[in-house]
Amino acid sequence: MDKKFGILLALVIMVSVFSCGYRLEGGGYIKENVTRVAVEVFENNSSQTRAGLAFTNELIREILEKTDTKVVDSSRATRRIVGVVKAIKFSTLSRTSTETVVERRVTAVVDVRLVGPDDEILWSVRDFSSHEDYTVAEDKVDDDGNIREAVDKIATRSAERLVSQMMVNF
């Protein structure tokens, strides 16, 4: 009797899990009927030379990982994602003296549009911002590395939020 009960219980659990439509993550298109999209390299108006590429690469990664939309080259896409890194700003968070900065905040501001075949805007966001704090290194090379790492984290976080907003028609 215990063996039959165990099998029945396992069967009930399996049926309820598989029938509820629960998905662990992702799925769906970035916008309704957008099955393929080209992601253009973000224009970079900031002083951080890699920022445009970082935001572009992270957005592509997020689309591929979390949606059913395929990222293709522009010749095979009917929709395009166009972005601009408008600014990367720095602000001081803490100091040990009037001349020595210990911690800074990096804030990135971007505009992103999903456009159709006739450049009609299907979705857009302006002045989208994210920030990351970092510890200032005494050595310029190390500090540049800390800045790059902070910008990369911002790009990752921004891509996650942007794809999420596109999918829910925010």
- pLDDT tens per residue across span 90-127: 999 999 988 889 999 999 999 999 999 899 999 999 99
Residues constituting the chain: 170
**What is the percent of the chain with per-residue pLDDT over 90, rounded to a whole number?**
72
pLDDT, position 24: 45
pLDDT, position 22: 42
CA 15, 23, 163: angle at the middle one, nearest 5?
170
pLDDT tens track for 51-74 = 999 999 999 999 999 999 999 999
Q: List Cα–Cα distances, 97 to 94, 101, 102, 134, in angstroms.
A: 9, 7, 9, 18
pLDDT, position 114: 97
Question: Mean of the per-residue pLDDT values for the chain?
Answer: 88
pLDDT score of 26 more than 60: no
Task: Look up the pTM and report it.
Answer: 0.81
pLDDT, position 19: 44
Which of 3.60.9.10, 3.30.160.150, 3.40.50.2300, 3.40.50.720 is the CATH number of 27-167? 3.30.160.150
pLDDT score of 8 more than 70: no
Q: What is the Cα–Cα distance from 78 to 114, expressed in whole angstroms?
A: 11
pLDDT, position 14: 56
How deeply is 33 buried, as exposed, middle or buried, from its count of CB atoms within 10 A (0-12, 13-18, 19+)?
Answer: exposed
